[in-house]
Structure 1
Amino acid sequence: MSRLRALLFRAAFYGLSVPVVLAAPLSLPFGHRAVVRYAHFWVRLHRWLARMILGVAVRVEGRLADGPALYVAKHESMFETFELVDRIDGPLIVLKQELLRIPVWGLIASRYGAVALDRGAGSKAMRHLLRAGEAVRASGRSVLIFPECTRVRHGERPALKPGFIGLYKALGLPVVPVASDSGRFVPRDGTPTPGILTLRFGAAIPPGLPRKEIEARVHAAINALND
């Protein structure tokens, strides 16, 4: 039954996503907020289909920062990527460069507010992030980053990648760690199972902390649901 639900979900979501994404450029002439609202419509479609077909719902714990912040999230599946775009209300997102090369989708993601991260470019990628960080700080937007850089299985605790520290220093914003247990219900490899996954917004951590301290605090907070 779980496999059947997974097949139905994929057929419904991807089948509906094709016309939604192809129509997305129609929102461009109406400005950035129109692009954000259109993207959130797609995200909410994903949420509704997941609840109705997969039996997967979302529980949110904690609260957002009062102003712009650097949201640093656990990455166990694509589910939290969708959810956090909507819950944080249009943050700039740090994504791997390959995603922005997808026709149409990459254009919309760029206009929405996405920064490409070339994981093989080393210091060049870091300089790009720092320049983007300066522009974001001037815009007053929050930023969302997945510091593990790839999806991990539930329970895994890889070290944070250096890009997080670079943005933390460049932005000078408080950090809100986000824990997720999405891998329990919609695993990277495996069949989704019904349940209520949790997104937990931790207490804001101030800017300006030493590297070891901020890394330790964020690493502990985003893995808080692993147990």
Structure 2
Amino acid sequence: MKLLIAVVRSIAFYLAFYLGSFLLALASIPASFMARRHMAGLGAAWARWHRWCTRYLIGVKIVIEGTVPSGKVIVAGKHESFFEAIDLPNLLDRPVPFAKSELLDIPLWGKVGEAYGMVRVERDQGAKALRAMLQQARKFGEEGRPLVIFPEGTRVAPGECPPLRSGFAGVYKLVGLPVIPMAVQSGHIYHRWIKRSGTIRVQFGPEIPPGLPRDGIEERVRVAINVLNAEPRS
């Protein structure tokens, strides 16, 4: 019976979320001819719709622990599922994620993402692309918007603790902002075709100051974003 309920809830989630996503994508066409803020608002609306579908159709409770950061910081997060990637505008005040260029090249949604504010990451494209990325990051940081990066580079399974990608330490050094670690427990219920009800935990850790050596910042962030790994998952 529990499996049947999970299947029905998952189907309802997929139908509602992707239909809403399609309608918001269509809305981006007329919004692209209006002020930039109208298109940016669609990105935040998409995150709110996703949160509603997750909460009321799947039956997921979201628990936020620690002090939610704001302003000129880098939020370094664990990435177990697409939940935390989509939910960022609900967790933070106008966050600016580092996003793979492929995501920003998606028709319609790419324009929404650029209007909302994202740092384009061009992997393996050389020094010019790196300078452009850092210029974008500094610009958004000066606006007082928190930058968000997943330093492990990609989604990892619950319990895994891979080394951080080398690019994170470079961004930390060159942008010169403090870091707030963000531990996440989401993969056990969300990253599956048949999603489960339960609790997703997001825990913000203590601020890490700028200016640490590479080994120091990488070790502190690696430990902090994996702090929930050993705790029970509900």
Q: Same fold (TM over 0.5)?
A: yes
SS in 1 for 2:209: coil
**Cα separation, partners in 2 of 1:159 and 1:125, compared to 1, 3 Å:** farther
Equivalent residues of 1:17, 1:42 under 8 A apart: yes
- Tell me the secondary structure at the aligned position of residue 190 of structure 2: coil
Cα separation, 1, equivalents of 2:202 and 2:221: 15
Letter aligned with residue 151 of structure 1: R
Indicate the residue corresponding to 2:94 in structure 1.
90
Preserved contact between residue 101 and residue 122 of structure 2 (Cα < 8 Å): yes
Aligned to 1:126: 130
Task: List alignment gaps of at least 5 residues for structure 2.
Answer: none
Residue of structure 2 in register with 1:30 after alignment: 35
The aligned length equals 225
Q: Give 3-state SS (helix, strand or coil) of 2:99's partner.
A: strand
> Is residue 2:194 matched to residue 1:191?
yes
| TM-score, normalised by the number of residues in structure 2 | 0.89
How far did residue 176 of structure 1 move? 0.5
Contact kept, 8 Å, 2:141 with 2:147, in 1: the verdict is: no
Between 36-45 and 53-62, report the one with greater CA deviation.
36-45
Kindly state the Cα deviation for residue 181 of structure 1 after the two structures are TM-superposed: 0.6
Match among 201, 209, 220 for residue 204 of structure 2: 201
C-alpha distance in structure 2 between counterparts of 1:137 and 1:170, whole Å: 12
8 Å CA contact retained: 2:137, 2:175: yes
User: 1:25: how far off?
Assistant: 4.5
SS of equivalent to 2:97: strand
Matches within 5 A, 1:44-83: 44-65=48-69, 67-83=71-87
- Answer yes or no: is the 8 Å Cα contact 2:73–2:141 preserved in 1: no
Matched residue SS, 2:76 = strand
Contact 2:63 2:202 in 1 (8 A): yes
Unaligned runs of 5+ in 1: none
Amino acid at match of 2:108: V
TM-score by length of 1: 0.91
